[in-house]
Amino acid sequence: MFRPVYLDHNATTQLDPTVLVAMLPWLDSRFGNASSLHEYGRQARQAIDEARQKVAAAANAHPTEVVFTSGGSEANNLFLKGAAACLKPGLLAVSAVEHPCVLKPAAQLARQGWELRHLAVDGAGRVKIEDYAEVLLDKPKLLSIMLANNETGVIQDVAALANAASGTGAWFHSDAVQALGKLAIDFRALNAAGVHAMTLSAHKAGGPKGAAALILDKRVELQPLIAGGGHERGLRSGTENVPAIVGFGVAAELAAARVAELPVRMRAMQLKLESGLVGLGARIFATDARRLPNTSYFAFPNIDGETLVGKLDREGFAVASGAACSSANPEPSHVLRAMGFAPDVARGAVRVSLGTANTEAEIEQFINALQVTVGRLQGLTAVN
């Protein structure tokens, strides 16, 4: 069976074998509802409690601050819409490079009377401090700035941004979905700096799809998106997805154990990859900013990103032409547009995101395949 080399880990990761083993009993003999009082239910409740402790430990949070959701999109929506429902409409500010699952609920709130501002970023994808300072003068009620960007890998100085906002009274949220396993996450320190909520997701770090968490300062009042039986401290009703939550706990535990070593290995492969890309004439985005050690975002002049992704797939390499959740959208990357790049440049963007199983040999193979593929496409462009 043909299996392309997988270089799209910011979209999703393969389920870690250890995670799968931990999940299997909860898909078979341990099928109880965690709200039931009998032995089956008590086993499920204990498993959820243990997973909550593991996720909290990985983020240096308290277990009571972990609210399980079905995914990062739900967690982001829960914070923005849930907090907005408990406040009078006011100023909501989000960075211009947020994932659509922050931008779109923010736009919905704007249609409900909130004033929405998109925080400008510089050419490297970092929030512009001058623009941010101006927004803070207008006393925002809600702020959401991601920790690490899913396309460029750019890491925002969330602690400094939150600290600057601490005198405004705003609730500050950060989408940290891309950070788990790639960066050391310390919610306690971030919370002390002024971050009130943070989103994590299992499937970005060797866990299953269908499990995520909103790490939430208990002083923040949220209106639940889903009303019902009062699960998750009344913030997220619905029978818990025990297998996925168990898997999330194990994945978080593994990610925390590897975070000292894995980024170092990924950074070495990233440097090798980007050296090869520069040699082929690629433009690499956001190189002036601090980035995730696994993410490289680049483009070749006059080559369409989606076309290049398709050609590379046939050559045996799975990469992305932007955010996977927006891959059906033909519009150029909103992240690169916010960074000041023209639409034709943004349409050429291709992302490589490395994972735990990738090797330097695969990087060499990829560069060789890329050289041939780009050469062919450039030849076609020259003919036209």
Catalytic residue among 325, 367, 369, 377: 325
Same domain, 67 and 178: yes
Among the three residues 210, 231, 258, which one is the final residue of a domain in this structure? 258
Residue partners of 160: CB distance under 8 A and separation at least 6: 193
Residue 381: inside a domain, yes or no? Answer: no
Same domain, 253 and 271: no
Same domain, 81 and 94: yes
Residue type (1 letter), 122: D
Token reading at 264: 């170092």
- Return the closest-CA partner of residue 339 out of 39, 49, 96: 96
Q: Is 325 a catalytic residue?
A: yes
Residue partners of 264: CB distance under 8 A and separation at least 6: 293
CATH number of the domain that residue 359 is part of: 3.90.1150.10
Same domain, 236 and 218: yes
Domain span including residue 331? 5-13+260-372
Among the three residues 258, 288, 323, which one is the final residue of a domain in this structure? 258
By the 8 A CB rule, do 92 and 141 touch? yes
- Return the closest-CA partner of residue 150 out of 103, 189, 109, 92: 103
Q: In what order do the strands lie in the sheet with 91-95?
A: 66-69, 212-216, 197-201, 171-175, 142-144, 91-95, 115-119
Same domain, 272 and 172: no
Same domain, 33 and 127: yes
* Beta bridge partners of residue 127, listed in sequence order: 121
Rg (CA), the chain: 21
Same domain, 38 and 134: yes
Same domain, 117 and 232: yes
Same domain, 65 and 9: no
CATH number of the domain that residue 245 is part of: 3.40.640.10
> In the 8-state DSSP scheme, what is residue 126?
P
Residue 126: inside a domain, yes or no? Answer: yes
Same domain, 272 and 247: no
How many residues are there in the chain? 384
Among the three residues 207, 237, 258, which one is the final residue of a domain in this structure? 258
> In the 8-state DSSP scheme, what is residue 200?
E
The rounded distance, in Å, linking the Cα atoms of 4 and 116 is 42
Task: For residue range 244-268, list pLDDT tens digits in order.
Answer: 999 999 999 999 999 999 999 999 9
Residue 384: inside a domain, yes or no? Answer: no
> In the 8-state DSSP scheme, what is residue 222?
-
pLDDT of residue 322: 65
Tally of domains within the chain: 2
Same domain, 81 and 208: yes
Token reading at 364: 């060499």
Token reading at 320: 């992305």
pLDDT in tens, the chain (384 residues): 578 999 999 999 999 999 999 999 999 999 999 999 999 999 999 999 999 999 999 999 999 999 999 999 999 999 999 999 999 999 999 999 999 999 999 999 999 999 999 999 999 999 999 999 999 999 999 999 999 999 999 999 999 999 999 999 999 999 999 999 999 999 999 999 999 999 999 999 999 999 999 999 999 999 999 999 999 998 999 999 999 999 999 999 999 999 999 999 999 999 999 999 999 999 999 999 999 999 999 999 999 999 999 999 999 999 999 645 555 556 899 999 999 999 999 999 999 999 999 999 999 999 999 999 999 998 766 555
Residue 202: inside a domain, yes or no? Answer: yes
Max CA distance (Å), the chain: 73
Residue 377: inside a domain, yes or no? Answer: no
Residue 81: inside a domain, yes or no? Answer: yes
- Return the closest-CA partner of residue 55 out of 198, 217, 197, 200: 200
Alpha helices in 178-241 (DSSP H): 187-193
Same domain, 121 and 73: yes
By the 8 A CB rule, do 85 and 221 touch? no
Residue 383: inside a domain, yes or no? Answer: no
Residue burial 372-383, b: 16+ Cβ < 10 Å; e: rest? ebbeebeeeeee
